[in-house]
Amino acid sequence: MTAVLDRPRATAGVVRLTVGRLLRLELRRNAMLLLVPLVIAMFWFDTYRSSMELPAIWPTRLLYVQQGRPLVDFAPFVAGAAAWTGSRDGRRSTAEQVATTPLPRWAARLSSWAALAIWALGAYVLCLGLLLGATAAQSPTGPLPWWPVLVGALGVLAFSALGFTAGVVFPSRFAVPLVAIAVLLILVLTQYPITHNATYGLLAPTNLMGSAGPQAGVFSPFLPDLSITQILFLAGLTVFALGAMGLRERGGGAMATGFAALVTVVGLAVTGYGVKLAGTAQVTANGVVISAVHSASDDGPVSTARVCQGSPVQVCVSPVYRSYLPDLDTALQPLLTEVAGLPGAPTKAEQVVFPYHGDAVYTVSSLQGSPAVLDLGLNIGADGSTCFVTGPKSSTCSSVSDLWKNASLVKTVVLPHTAQTVLDSLVGGDGTQARQAVVDGLLTASGVTLTDPTAQSQLPPGAPRVFNPEVQVMGPTPGSPVAVAATRFAALPQSERYAWLSSHLSALRAGQLTTADLP
């Protein structure tokens, strides 16, 4: 009698022991083991090399991680290996034989999946650890955004579970490669066509709109709202896939089927909740806000501390970007010297967050407050490359992150539109010919090369196409009264220009002067 009463406890113990032994066996003989060197190589080739080319600033260095690139390197192979493992019984036609063993098939399959997930996750942690370690060795600045790293880990788990279940359901030799290709296709498609989808499309870890950008967490706290939603979505998918696998098993009894159904429903519910949350997302300059998971403490600025340099007007940047300050100051001082002290001129130039998802390529600028402060958003650290006209018959190409290390290119990308913003606000832009001439004269005096509107192209034959209309400022038609007056004004000594502006700025703004009145 005692033996009969003790049987359930003994059976449970045996099952636990068997599951543990099975897990150990699966860990030693797992398909993912074969692919670990490959995924590490893919990560090195794609994410690691690309990331290490970006500046050693944490959110910048992890820009590709934010964009889900590690998942593109991992997921096809993890899903393929999972499908391979999941389809094992079906491919070998051993499903009926193993179904008679005491261990429920769902538990056995969960052991197989767990072993695969451990290897896949281990490889992911190793790769990210290498990237973070190499970055840490370069004394990086800025806050480290952990959330996208977690999303990637959940993505690896979700694709392993989905791939495994696909293998169980379709135990064909073709299921494995098709799962791998399908995963790659999904990740690529979600990266681009729905890039500008600001709600449900954000659920894809590779969605570019979901990436907070290279300045995430520098000017305001990193918003984890989207990451939390993505984690819910991916965790839900994982649970759903594992539960659905249990629903296919026969012979486990009503209890086991009921439990599998419960797990499946919970997974579906969590996935659905993630989808619902994504539907309420709002993309802001600081990241994605999802009100249901948003914390009010994430709304304030991180720190208003700035490091400054320059005279007569100080140029200030976040301490994270301290190394870029000298070049920025050199680029802006010719302009700031021209206008310093004039009514409405900026008293300070201060770095603000660059709108990563906006239309601007290099910089945004605006004058705020009284006394006026020049707000500068600088696209430091974003990916991509661009080409510049550097002379009448020459051009140069540079990655967007590299150009901020080149003093002449910093001037090329920052000065033109910043100068236009300042001078349009100060003088009044295109209102009258006199104003236009003064603005053009000051632009020239500040070092901005005005584009001849009659010239077709300054590019030499065969040179790369120009992708930087943002750095071009259209000048007056050569020989026109505005051009003549602007040239005359620009040729004056700086002190004479400044003295004339000081005494005539009000009249110029009021439209009371003509080009003939300009010195």
Partner 1 sequence: MSSSTLNERSALRDQAQRHGLGARLTWLHLVSRQVPAALAIMAALAVVLNIGARLNWYSGDGALVQQVPVLLEAGAVVVIAVSTRSPFGEVELANGRLLPGLRLGTVLALTAAAMGLMAAGMIGVHLPDGGAALARNTAGMTGIGLITATILGGAMAWVGPVAYAAITEYALSASWQSPLIWAARPPHDRGAVLCAAAVFVVGVVLITVRGPRNTVRE
Task: Write out the residues near partner 1 by the rule CB under 8 A.
Answer: 31, 34-35, 38, 42, 45-46, 72-73, 76-77, 80, 84, 172-174, 176-178, 180-182, 184-185, 188-189, 192-193
Report how far residue 243's alpha carbon sits from residue 259's, in angstroms, rounded to the nearest whole number: 8
Residue 366 CB partners (closer than 8 Å, separation 6+) = 374, 375, 421
3-state secondary structure of 396: strand
Helix H or strand E encompassing 308:
strand 307-309
Nearest to partner 1 of 81, 335 (CB atom): 81
* Residue 251 one-letter amino acid: G
Is residue 333 a contact partner of residue 314, using CB atoms and an 8 Å limit?
no
What lies within 8 Å, CB to CB, of 238 at 6+ separation is 154, 157, 158, 161, 162, 267
Nearer to partner 1 among residue 176 and residue 270 (C-beta): 176
Which of 182/235 has CB closer to partner 1?
182
Give residue for tokens 């071009």: 472
Token pair of 293 as six digits: 């998971």
Q: In the complex with partner 1, which residue's Cβ is closer, 54 or 270?
A: 54
> What tokens does 369 get?
């407050």
Report in angstroms how near the CB of residue 474 gets to partner 1 at its nearest.
26
Q: Between residues 76 and 210, which has the closer beta carbon with respect to partner 1? A: 76
Rounded-to-integer distance, Cα 413 and Cα 473, Å = 11
Tokens of 249: 């098993």
Instruction: Tell the smallest beta-carbon distance from residue 181 to partner 1 (Å).
Output: 4
* Shortest distance (Å) from residue 153 CB to partner 1: 20
CB of 174 to partner 1, least distance (A): 6
What does the alpha-carbon distance between residue 376 and residue 378 come to, in Å, rounded to a whole number? 6
Q: How far is the CB of 282 from partner 1 (least distance, A)?
A: 26
d(CA 157, CA 159): 6
DSSP bridge partners of 284: 287
Please report how close the Cβ of residue 425 comes to partner 1 at its closest, in angstroms: 36
Per-residue DSSP letters for 344-379?
Answer: T--SEEEEE---TTSS-SSEEEEEETTTTEEEEEE-
DSSP per-residue letters across 212-243: --TTTTTSS----HHHHHHHHHHHHHHHHHHH
For the bound state, the minimum distance from the C-beta of residue 50 to partner 1, rounded and expressed in Å, comes to 8
The residue (of 76 and 142) whose beta carbon lies closer to partner 1 is 76
> Which is closer to partner 1, CB of 87 or CB of 421?
87
Q: How far is the CB of 42 from partner 1 (least distance, A)?
A: 6
Compute CA 210 distance to the chain's CA centroid, rounded to the nearest angstrom. Answer: 7
> Please, what is the minimum distance in Å from the beta carbon of residue 94 to partner 1?
14
β-pairing, 307-309 with 473-474? unpaired
Nearer to partner 1, 77 or 119 (CB): 77
Identify which of residues 31 and 380 has a Cβ nearer to partner 1 in the complex: 31
**Per-residue tokens: 482:** 């505005």
Q: Which two tokens stand for residue 489?
A: 């004004």
Q: How far is the CB of 194 from partner 1 (least distance, A)?
A: 11
For residue 469, what are the contacts with CB-CB under 8 A and spacing of at least 6? none
Query: What are phi and psi for residue 314, nearest 5 degrees?
Result: -80, 140
Shortest distance in whole angstroms from residue 177 CB to partner 1: 3
**314-317: strand order across its sheet:** 307-309, 314-317, 348-352, 373-378, 363-368
Task: Closer to partner 1 by CB, 402 or 517: give it.
Answer: 402
Q: Rank residues 112 and 286 by Cβ distance to partner 1 and give the closer one.
A: 112
Q: Cα(69)–Cα(188) distance, rounded to whole angstroms?
A: 10
Q: Measured from the CB atom, is 116 or 231 closer to partner 1?
A: 116
In the complex, the smallest distance separating the C-beta of residue 176 from partner 1, rounded to whole angstroms, is 6
